[in-house]
Amino acid sequence: MEAYEALERHLGREDALVVVRSLEESIELSMAATWNANRDQIFEALRRDFVTRELFEDKLALLRAELLAELRALFEKTERDKAELLGKIAALYEKTEKDKAELLGKIAALYEKSEKDKAELLGKIERDKAEILGKI
């Protein structure tokens, strides 16, 4: 208000009003231009920082394709590992069956020998018993 009064004293009432209105108009134009520039900068920043639905869907489809490819590769590796392990298990089972047959054969032979030794020992016991009883 003091500035207007000073202008009015030096320029007169009409001229002071013209100057004040011109200053107000200049300020309004300047503020509008600044507002528009700031708004444009804000929108540009938002466009840079935010993703559109189309871009989001494209990125999502790309990630889905990558994940599916990785899952397929992992599945194939798992199937190969499974086949390898099944082969090893089959070979181990076959070896175990051979070892089992061999051990059963050895057990049978050992049982046969122990029965033979038992019969031989029983025979000696009977002979020794008869010899002892014959001396008594």
pLDDT score of 90: 96
Q: What is the pLDDT of residue 118?
A: 95
What is this structure's pTM?
Answer: 0.45
- Say how far apart CA 72 and CA 79 lie, in whole Å: 10
The model's confidence at residue 85, banded by pLDDT at 50, 70 and 90, is very high
- 83 vs 90: CA distance, rounded Å: 11
